[in-house]
Structure 1
Amino acid sequence: MKITGVELRHIAMPLVAPFRTSFGTATSREALLLRVVTDESEGWGECVAMAQPLYSSEYVDGAADALRRFLIPMILNQPEVDGPGVAEALAPVQGHRMAKAALEMGVLDAELRAAGRPFARELGATRDRVPCGVSVGIMDSIPALLDAVDDYLGQGYQRIKLKIEPGWDIMPVQAVRERFGDVLLQVDANTAYTLADARHLAKLDPFDLLLIEQPFDELDIVGHADLARLISTPVCLDESITSAQTAAAALRLGACSIINIKPGRVGGYLEARKIHDLCVANGVPVWCGGMLETGLGRAANIALAALPGFVLPGDISGSNRFYSTDITAPFILDDGYLRVPTGHGLGVEPIADELNAVTVATEWVSA
């Protein structure tokens, strides 16, 4: 399959409500979409980098520049390329995993559409629907938090994840546990703590949490290993896991007992599958994290989460969790589950009018 060109499309989608984490408060989602055109078909990729380099060193404009100047030309120079060949072709470029993942996703989608194969089947999915959890941002008050959780549980979400930070941790967790009983509950610190906070974080142990996600800086693998020995709540890593290699190192050091797999963060869905396989071999549960994806990225995440090792509900919510109108047909929660798309490739595609309505700029990159 020969790549003839790639369209970079910048979009901006308003969120239905502000979403606050320790990185800041988001009111809209700026994103970069890729339309990969080949001599056989077209495919779509989505870059999960944020507008600012807060969650990761990558950001939307930087990803666009890396794609425009380096990554896309390297793919265009290949006489033929398929999904598995993207990572090999881009290997000389250091980092830029989110940009690479978007390009790999687009190439995979184009390849699978041409071949008439679904994304989920290609990855090795074994289920036709996946259980859904929801991520709840930091709120202005405990009553507001309880109202939000009550609403999400009423919609059918099977697991609640609370964002926490110093000053907003023990009390909100206690309030949710007391109000909603044995609901599946976990917390996400987004690197907001240090090992000096270990005694404080141990106060979460009585609340029977599924896990505490990424309490320390992404580079502090040893600190996470120390914390795991000091608390009974399972430690889950997110930002620290950038590849199957880093996942293997973290597991060997005892830095985590659960892993959140975000395909964009690790360089693509094929690397994500490698991490899944590694964790299955070691008896380590995994779940699929979310990055406020549009329906394109959401479809791919659902396909990934249908693999057998994803035994915990992921952050794969219905489209209306973040957007009043998605750029694809909306994903609608059904009894706490989302259906795995079965069409060719991603199984979804943008609705032209909805996509154009949120498009800020487009750029065509060809040989």
Structure 2
Amino acid sequence: MAGESSERLETLQSRWKEFYGLIGNDSMDIRSITLRLIESPLKIPFTTHLETVTKRQAIIIEAKDSSGGIGFGEADPFSSPWYSAETITTCWHALCGFLVPLTLRKEISDPSALDQIWSGIRGNNMAKSGLSQAIWDLYARQKKVYIGSLFGAERKAVAAGAVIAANDPKNAIDQIEKYSEAGYLRYKIKISRRNDLKILSAIRQHFPEVALMADANSAYSIQDAKHLEKLDEFGLQMIEQPLAYNDLVDHALLQSKIKTPVCLDESIGSFQDARAALALGSCKIINIKMARVGGWSEAVRIHDLCFRQDVPVWCGGMIEFGVAKAHNIALAALRGFILPGDLFAASRYWEEDIVEPEITVNKGWIRVPEKAGIGFDINEEVLERLTVKKNNIE
């Protein structure tokens, strides 16, 4: 397994060198890494059968080199462990106590070395993702290229999908009508055993042609297979993570019983998970969340695996602020991302975001920027206003 991981890393490095000629022996010269805990209320609550989120926290990570250049990343665990084992508190601890000091002790010529540097630290993928983002952003700025181009991004715009989290059909329909003005290209409906048929039936009657998918966040078990077969009648693009968050076997059994494509989210925490899921037939679609899989390198490996096997992928979201959204836009510009992602406009959840220009959706699409790094500027005033804690590590 270690040899296979090393081979994948060498393949990535060779591809970057061949196409961009950017990898050299010079150190990135990272002198300090600053962590900011930021906090902002959501304009509208985000509700699933597991949790209702009304306020969002995130950790903004700034990697600075000796010339004053800064790369930005964002770690997005929730405040409680309802989606993943990581929380804001554990993520802050992993970054301050382990990942950041370890990173600063190393001479890094390019960020493809990070996986090896962090190999002795298990899990903590959201912490790793945020730090990975900051260092890749700094690297792209040093090389004066858009970050997506480092990984072969081709798209000039990415397709946006909206997430509808509602307790009743009327509220869901009202949200779709509101967001349809921006032309979102699909709507993901949060469902549970309690409301699925009622809410999907009402939406389908009101919007017979709109592209719909359902997200269950592990609300069912394999004993619900007969019930889940009823969802086939709604013509869904997919049902996301219907069974246990760490399951592959029962998802394979379920996929053999229903027509609706199963999409895996929480079950895919690594390249190895994705490979196992495809080998078992656990899904027909994969949601790639950079935050969930540990950063840029692992997300690209999963993308490449799925692309080789003609498995559609899309970019998942975490109700993130603009820094993580900028990284997700760049990721979604890779050619294998053929389905609309959870790439909402900044105004969906925030009165003010921390990047500019504002991220907007126009006729269902978000423009991919061309500037170096993540392609957006940081609104320092808003970032400072939202900061509740800060730690600079040298």
TM over 0.5: yes
Give 1:129's aligned residue: 157
Amino acid in structure 2 at the alignment position of 1:94:
R
Aligned to 2:368: 340
Give the TM-score normalised by the residue count of structure 1: 0.98
Structure 1 distance, partners of 2:209, 2:164, is 17
Unaligned residue ranges in structure 1 (runs of 5+)? none
- What is the CA distance between 1:215 and its match in structure 2? 0.7
Q: Does residue 53 of the first structure (1) align with residue 50 of the second (2)?
A: no
Query: Aligned residues: percent identity?
Result: 41
Residue in structure 2 matching 1:246, options 267, 273, 276: 273
What is residue 95 of structure 2 aligned with on the other side? 67
Give the one of 199, 209, 223 matched to 1:172. 199
Give the alignment partner of residue 285 of structure 1, picking from 307, 312, 327: 312
Identify the residue that residue 250 of structure 2 maps to in structure 1. Answer: 223
Mapped contact 1:123–1:303 kept (Cα < 8 A)? no
- Alignment counterpart, residue 316 of structure 1, candidates 339, 343, 354: 343
Matches within 5 A, 1:131-146: 131-139=159-167, 141-146=168-173
Question: How many corresponding residue pairs?
Answer: 365
> Which amino acid is 2:186 matched to?
R
How far has the Cα of 1:54 moved from its partner? 1.1
Tell whether 2:113 aligns with 1:76.
no
Q: Give the match for residue 359 of structure 1.
A: 387
Listed as ranges, the gaps of 5+ residues in structure 2 are 1-27
* Partner secondary structure for residue 39 of structure 2: strand
Match of 1:182 among 209, 214, 217: 209
Deviation, structure 1 residue 349 = 2.9
Contact 1:266 1:272 in 2 (8 A): yes
| Pairing partner for 1:299 from 321, 326, 330 | 326
Listed one character per residue, the Cα deviations across residues 79-137 of structure 1 (whole Å, up to 9, x for unaligned) are 23421111111111011011011111101111111110101111211110011100011
| Structure 2 SS opposite 1:80 | coil
CA distance in 2, matches of 1:338, 1:10: 27
1:250 counterpart SS class: helix
Whether 1:158 and 2:197 are equivalent positions in the alignment is: no
Q: What is the aligned counterpart of 1:259 among 263, 282, 286?
A: 286
Q: CA deviation at 1:256?
A: 0.3
Deviation by residue 1:132-170 (Cα, 9 ceiling, x = unmatched): 10001132x221211111111122111000001121111
Q: For residues 270 and 88 of structure 2, what CA distance do their matches in structure 1 show?
A: 21
C-alpha distance in structure 1 between counterparts of 2:169 and 2:140, whole Å? 47
Q: In 1, distance between residues paired with 2:188 and 2:54?
A: 19
Determine helix, strand or coil for the equivalent of 1:334.
coil
- Provide Cα deviations, 1:242-294, integer angstroms capped at 9, x if missing partner: 11111000000000000000001001012111111100100100000000111
